[in-house]
Amino acid sequence: MKREVNVLALVKDQERYVFLYDEQSIETLFEQLGNCAADPELSFTWYDAAVLSQRVRRLREQVEEESDGVSNFIR
């Protein structure tokens, strides 16, 4: 079984936020985005967390749609 690792990145001025996740760790990713947003020492905001979360959800929907199209084609 092939395990894919996704990269989610945000560049803010001189800071770089890079998150690695797979399909099994999406909920953990969302928690980590919230932890970063709640940390007053980081420039990472709740808006950043919301935008990145939405990006992950949209990507997940695209992958599901593509896999449904492939399975419908095979039938």
pLDDT digits 0-9 by tens, 18-74: 999 998 999 999 999 999 999 999 999 999 999 999 999 999 898 888 777 655 555
Q: Return the structure tokens found at 10.
A: 């945000």
0.85 cut: is pTM over it? Answer: no
Identify the domain containing residue 69 by its residue range.
6-74
The answer to whether position 24 is within a domain reads: yes
The answer to whether position 50 is within a domain reads: yes
Give the chain's domain count: 1
Say if strands 15-21 and 6-12 run parallel, antiparallel, or are unpaired.
antiparallel
> Is pLDDT larger for residue 13 or for residue 31?
31
Alpha helices in 1-75 (DSSP H): 26-38, 46-74
**Which pLDDT belongs to residue 45?**
97
Decide if pLDDT at 13 tops 70.
yes
